[in-house]
Amino acid sequence: MSFVEYGETIKDGDTAIVFLGHESMFPVKVQHGTVTQTKYGVIRHSTDLIGKKYGSKVTCSKGGWVFILHPTPELWTMNLPHRTQILYSTDISIITMMLELKPGSVVCESGTGSGSLSHALIRTVAPTGHLYTVEFHQQRAEKAREEFREHGVEHLVTVTNQDVCKNGFGVSNIADAVFLDIPSPWEAIGHAKSALKAEGGRICSFSPCIEQVQRTCLAMEEYGFTEINTLEILLRVYNVRTISLQIPDLGKAAEDNSSTGFDSSNPSNQGSLCANLQQGTVQFKSGVPQREMVGHTGYLTFATKS
């Protein structure tokens, strides 16, 4: 099992996603002799998981069933254990596009945090690229190394435990892109410039406060970055529902029907006409935004090394 390569069958030691529904799923480490409790009953790893195909429908001990899904960066973002606040798919998608990442790209990241963005970056640059990720907190760095090893991507990532504002990324003139998610990104702009390749490298900084953005932009200008711009990405979810609206009165029914080729002499058409007039309403599907939505998450500031 690897987060960047698809495996057909579930093996001992894999990380799998137990899917109970769109709003209910969780990761599980598959181990011989282990059981997992769900609201539908027990899942026995030895008999119910190991050797089965990913995507299989597994019946639990109480008769209910779940699906076992192959892990992806998107599913991991939705289910990972939070060690820090994380980036979600809305921001991750624009980051990977605006940094112009592709297979073979070299990326520097700080900080690693819970690894949500890290997994997406690794999948994007695989199989020949590399991610250099820096985490200030020692325990979080060690946990990230462990997860990357369990997820089969350790050969694509280097985790370093140090202060990026003081010590940089540990590499020079090789990165195609740099991403910063730290409290004071302006203090790391110089190190980011040193890590980027000679010309044309891209940088992105994520900050929740506009004051952080202002100081970061000033630092980018000071170090010669160009094409500086800041975005805020907001996700708006719509609910699809059936609504009923009253039919408007546009005049005599006979006149309307004759203008549209309606044959009122046909008995079947007369019946449907009477039914519609008596009902007086029509039903159709409509999309409406939710009354509450996730608001501000943060600002994304992009720039290019001149």
Question: Are the C-beta atoms of residues 170 and 160 closer than 8 Å to each other?
Answer: yes
Q: 199 labelled as ligand-binding?
A: no
**Two tokens, residue 54:** 């990913």
DSSP conformational letter for 102: -
What is the H or E stretch that residue 62 is in?
A: none
- What is d(CA 104, CA 233) in angstroms, rounded to the nearest whole number? 27
Q: 163 labelled as ligand-binding?
A: yes
Q: 117 labelled as ligand-binding?
A: yes
Q: 263 labelled as ligand-binding?
A: no
Contacts of 78 (CB under 8 A, 6+ apart): 25
Contacts of 97 (CB under 8 A, 6+ apart): none
User: Beta strand 15-21 with 65-69: parallel, antiparallel or unpaired?
Assistant: antiparallel
Residues in the chain: 306
Q: 100 labelled as ligand-binding?
A: no
Tell me which residue of 3, 1, 304 sits closest to 124, measured CA to CA. 3
For the chain, what are the domain ranges? 9-71, 76-234+296-305
Q: 114 labelled as ligand-binding?
A: yes
Query: What tens-digit pLDDT sequence spans the chain (306 residues)?
Result: 899 999 999 999 999 999 998 889 999 999 999 999 999 999 999 999 999 999 999 999 998 999 999 999 999 999 999 999 999 999 999 999 999 999 999 999 999 999 999 999 999 999 999 999 999 999 999 999 999 999 999 999 999 999 999 999 999 999 999 999 999 999 999 999 999 998 889 999 999 999 999 999 999 999 999 999 999 998 888 888 888 888 877 766 545 555 555 455 555 555 554 455 445 788 888 888 877 766 778 999 999 998
- What is d(CA 2, CA 70) in angstroms, rounded to the nearest whole number? 9
Domain 9-71 has CATH 3.40.50.720: no
Cross-strand bridge partners of residue 59: 65
Domains 9-71 and 76-234+296-305 share a fold: no
The fold for domain 76-234+296-305 equals Rossmann fold (3.40.50)
Q: 156 labelled as ligand-binding?
A: no
* Residue 205 confidence (pLDDT): 98
Question: Are the C-beta atoms of residues 107 and 178 closer than 8 Å to each other?
Answer: yes
